[in-house]
Structure 1
C-alpha cells in the first residue's frame, strides 16, 4: 500500500504515519513545518520530508490513499492535485475506520476523561498481554506510538474526539467510527469556535450514540444529566450499561478504592478519575477482562501524560501539571488536588490558551472553576488572542468571569514566571493547568522551586 500524508507533522498524523510504516506500508508525506517530537520521530524511521513545503508532483496515480490533516488548508496544492487525479482522499478518522471496519471498534467519547479512560483500558490490556489495536491522544508509558494497527488483532480502542475531521470534512471525528462498544463520560460545552451553542454541541453526542452498530454496548456515566438524556434518546438499538463513581477514601495523601477484596491503593486520584476507573472497568469487562483482573492491573496505572502528572515532590511540597483548560476539567482537577492534599495550600495556576477559553462570550463558564484553590492565578497572553483573531479580552472580564476577589491575573510571561519563582513554597500543592506552556515556561525548572 502506498499512502501519502498531507500535513504529516501533526501529533495525530505522524503517529498514524508511524503505525502504517510499522505495518509495512510505503509512507510519504509533506508539511510546511514540523516540530519535535514529531520531527525526530519521523526522521528516525526515514519518514521526514527532505524539504518542507507542498509539492503536487508527489501526488501520483500510484498512491492507494491520501490522508488529509487538519493543519492543511482547503486550497492546498497537493490536495487539489489528488482531487484532479480522482484519488481517494481520507480524513484521519476516515482512514482509521477503513483500517478497523472488520474489527470490534471500542470508542471512548466525552468532553472530558476520554484520553485517561482510553489509557486505562490500554494499560489493563498491556498488563495482561492482550494485544489490541488503538489510537489514543497521549503518549503512554510502555507504548512507543499513539496509534497501533495490525491485520490480526480483533479489537481496536479509539479515543473519540468531537473536533472536526479535516479541512474538507466538517464532521466531528467520532461520528465516523461506528462503534460496536462505546463509552460516554460527560458532556460540557467546549470548542465554541466550531459549536457556537451548547445545544449544537450536545447534538454531536446524540449523533455519536445513534451511529453505533445495532446491538452495540453503550457504557455511560449516570452522574452527568446530559449524558443520561442523550443515551435515553438514542434511536439506535443498543444495550445500555450505566456507571457511577465508586466508593473511595483518601488517607494521608493516598487514595483507596473500595473493591470486593477490600480497600485497594490506587495511583490516580480525584473523584473524576475514580469515575473514569468505573467506566474503564465496564469496557474492559466487555473486552474479556474479569473484574478481579481489572483491579490488579489498574492499581499500577500512573496516569496519561499531562493528566495530573506529578512533576516534582519534596517532603513538604508537590507539583502537578495537567492539560485541563475547559471549565469542567479545571474544576475537577482543582478539586481533586485539594481533596488529595486537604492540609496543604493549593496554588492553582491556569493558562487560558484555547479558542474557547479566550472567547469573551465563553468566559462566564469558568465561574467557580478555581474555588477549591487557596491561591488562584490566571495567565493569558493578549498576543495569543491577536493570533487567534479574537476580540480583546480584558483583565476585568477575567476577574468578573471567575468571581474571585483575590484572583491573581498575569498577561506577561516574564512577570508570571517571576511570581512563580518568587514564592516561598511550604506545605504547598502547586497545580499548573494548561494546554500550552505559559508563554515559554520550562517545566523542568519548576522542580527546583518545589
Structure 2
C-alpha cells in the first residue's frame, strides 16, 4: 500500500472538497513543499477562496470533474464536504487510487513523531492554540493541526520532515463521507487531553451515550506509557479518565487560580506573584491550565509558561475583540453549543460586571437547529442582560430539518425575555437601538448571521 511519505516523493495529490477550512490549509502546506496539488469543490467561501487563488490552487470551475482523476495521481484526500457518491471519489475507487481522509493523511505523516492530541466538546481549539503559542515562543521545533487561525501562524496545519513532535486538535466528528470513525481515533496519541464532554453532533450521535462512547474509545487507545490529561471538574470526563489502565498515567486539572481587576485577568502563581493575561473567562483558565499540564510533560517548565502566556491573544473567533471604546467592547466567539454559550456569556459578564451585557447567538449547526436537541439550551442563556437568538428558516430547509418557530426557541431556552430574529436586518436594527454606554456586545456563531456585515455593525455601535 502506498504511504503518504512515498506519495510526498512522487508529488501528485488531488483534493476532493479543497475549499474546507482544514482541507485548504493542508493543500497550501503540501503545495509549499513542492508537491503538485489539484482540487475540486462545488462551493468555496472566504478566506479559503482568496488563499487558494493566491497559491494558484483555486479550481477554474466549481463542481466535480471525474476526468481530473487519472492513474497518474498518487493519492486523493477526501474532505467532509463531499458525499459518498461524489463522482470524483467513485472514479478514484474505480482506478484503485489510494483515498485518504484528512486525519489518516496527517497520522501517516506523523508516524515517527510524538503525538499530542487535544480533544473535548469545548475548549480544544484554545487549549491547542496556547500550546502552539508557548512552543513557538521558545523556538521549539514542532508540527501542528489546529481548528482556527492563531496569531503568529500562517496556516492551520504544518507537516515537516524533521519536527519530533506534533500537536493536534482532535475532532470527534467522523473522518470522511466513507469513514464514520471519529477523526481523533486516527491519530493514536502518546499524550491525550480531554477538556470536557457535552453532547454535540446529534446528526452523527443521536444519543448522548453514543457520543460519550467515542471519548471512551479515545481514552482506551492510550498506549502503555501514555498520558491522559483531563478536566477534573467534568463528571463525565473524570469517570472516563480515572478508570485504571495498565501503564497509562492520568493527570487532572482545574481552573488556574486567578483574579480580575478593572477588566484584566491575572494568574496567581504559587508564590503569590501575578501574571497579566490578554485572555479571560473561567473556561479559559481551565483551558490554560490543561495546556500548562501538557507543556510540563513535553519539557516546558512553569517559569517558562508564565513568561510566554502573557503575550497569548487567543485563537480566531474565540472571545476575539471585534472593536472597543472607553465604555463598550464587542466580542466575537465561535460558541453555539449550550455549554459553550453558557461559559462564554458568563466569562464576559464576570470580566465586566459593571457593564450591561447584550448577547446574540446564531443557531446554525445541525444540532442547534434540531427540534429534538433544542431543550439542551434550557437555562443556558440567562446570564446576559439582553439576550437574542438568530436563526434562518432557509438554513433549516437546506439541512432538511423539522421547521422550528420563534415560540419553540423561547419555550425551550426557558427565558421569557429572549428576543428571537429570523431577519438579520431586523437584528441589526435591534442592536443599533440599544443603549451602548457602559455596555458590551457578545456575538456567538459558527456562521455569519446570514452575511451580516459585522465590522460595519461594530463600527456603527462604537460611534
* Superposition TM-score tier, normalisation by shorter sequence: over 0.9
Report the Cα distance in structure 1 between the residues aligned to 2:248 and 2:35, rounded to whole angstroms.
Answer: 36
Match of 1:124 in 2: 134
Write out per-residue CA displacement over residues 365-398 of structure 1, whole angstroms, 9 at most, x where no aligned residue.
1112111111111111111111111111122221
Q: 1:68: how far off?
A: 0.6
- 2:228 corresponds to 1:218: yes
1:89 and 2:104 matched? no
Match of 1:310 in 2: 321
Deviation at 1:235, TM superposition (A): 4.8
Cα deviation per residue 1:178-212 (whole Å; 9 max; x = unaligned)? 00111000000001111001101000100111122
User: 2:37 is matched with which residue?
Assistant: 27
Do 1:209 and 1:234's aligned partners in 2 also have CA atoms closer than 8 Å? no
Q: What TM-score, normalized by structure 2, do the two folds share?
A: 0.95
Cα distance in 1 for partners of 2:192, 2:437 equals 44
- In structure 2, what is the equivalent of residue 176 of structure 1? 186
- Tell me whether 1:339 sits opposite 2:339 in the alignment: no
Compare 210-219 and 249-258 and name the one that shifted more: 210-219
Counterparts in 2 of 1:83 and 1:235: CA distance versus 1, 3 Å: farther
CA contact (8 A) 1:91 1:165 kept: yes
CA deviation profile, 1:302-327 (whole Å, cap 9, x unmatched): 11000000111111111101010000
Is 1:448–2:450 an aligned residue pair?
A: no
> CA-to-partner distance for each residue in 1:247-292, whole Å, 9 max, x for gaps?
1111111111111351111111010000000000011111211111
Shift of 1:63: 2.0
What corresponds to 2:25 in structure 1? 15
Q: Paired residue for 2:302, among 266, 276, 291?
A: 291
**Cα distance between partner residues in 1 of 2:63 and 2:360:** 38
The aligned counterpart of 1:422 is 433
CA deviations on 1:74-111 (whole Å, 9 max, x unpaired) are: 11121111111111111011101011111111100000
Q: Deviations over 1:196-244 (max 9, x none)?
A: 0110100010011112222111111100010011112365641111111
Give the unaligned 5+ runs of structure 1.
Answer: none
Alignment of 1:322-333 (within 5 A): 322-333=333-344
Q: What RMSD in Å do the two structures reach over aligned CA positions?
A: 1.2
How far apart, CA to CA, are the structure 2 residues paired with 1:363 and 1:231? 29
SS in 2 for 1:223: coil
**Farther off after superposition, 33-42 or 300-309:** 33-42
Conservation of the 8 A alpha-carbon contact between 1:311 and 1:447: no
Change (3 A) 1:90 1:417: same
Equivalent residues in 2 for 1:33-112, closer than 5 Å: 33-112=43-122
Structure 2 unpaired stretches of 5+:
1-10
Q: How has the CA–CA distance of structure 1 residues 213 and 63 changed in structure 2, closer, same or farther, with 3 Å as cutoff?
A: farther
Question: Map of 1:151-300 to 2, 5 A cutoff?
Answer: 151-233=161-243, 235=245, 237-261=247-271, 262-300=273-311
* More displaced 10-residue stretch of structure 1: 133-142 or 233-242: 233-242
> SS where residue 220 of structure 1 aligns?
strand
For 2:368 and 2:245, the matched residues in 1 are separated by 33
Segments ≥4 residues shifted beyond 6 Å = none
